[in-house]
Amino acid sequence: MSTIAVAGRFTKDGEIRITPNGHHILNFGIAENVYINGKEQPQFFNCQLFGNRAEKLAPYIKKGGAATVFGSLQIRQYTDRQGIERQSIDIIVGDITLQGSRDQAHASQPATHHAAARPHTAQPARQQPAEPVPQDEIDDSIPF
């Protein structure tokens, strides 16, 4: 599989589905502007995120929001409603970094979420500032 990183904006709100087995799937689209021959052209990708991360990130995937998506490329062929054979470039998301939205409507929400699960750890206690080193203990023979 090919890996890809796309920095762009969501083209629609995320849609969460639950399979009959109880697995969560989050579907969303992202567009990235690329320059080809000096002209800006959008590239559109369908994205899928699986598991508990899908359920947790769904409220943050809003149309117009900015993000960087990391994942694997999957080219899918399908027949549309008119019977025409089509191809879709999909990204199976491994990690995502949210960067806010155009209107900053979600400014009070956390700006970055990593899809990789990480255990919660308690914050370390604040450390006291170190006491200054006495000048008579500094070795002047060190060249830096």
> How many residues appear in the chain?
144
pLDDT at 132 over 80: no
More confident residue, 50 or 114: 50
Q: 5-9, 14-18, 131-135: lowest mean pLDDT where?
A: 131-135
For the purposes of burial, counting CB atoms within 10 Å of the CB of 98, is it exposed (0-12), middle (13-18) or buried (19 or more)?
buried
**All structural domains of the chain with their residue ranges:** 3-117
- The domain 3-117 is classified under which CATH number: 2.40.50.140, 2.40.30.10, 3.40.228.10, 3.20.20.70? 2.40.50.140
Summarised one tens digit per residue, pLDDT across range 62-75 is: 999 999 999 999 99
| pLDDT at residue 88 in the model | 87
E strands present in the chain: 3-10, 15-18, 24-36, 39-50, 66-79, 85-100
Q: What amino acid is encoded at 38 in this protein?
A: G
Higher pLDDT, 67 or 2: 67
Is the backbone of residue 143 left (phi > 0), alpha (psi -120 to 50) or beta? alpha
Give pLDDT, residue 136: 53
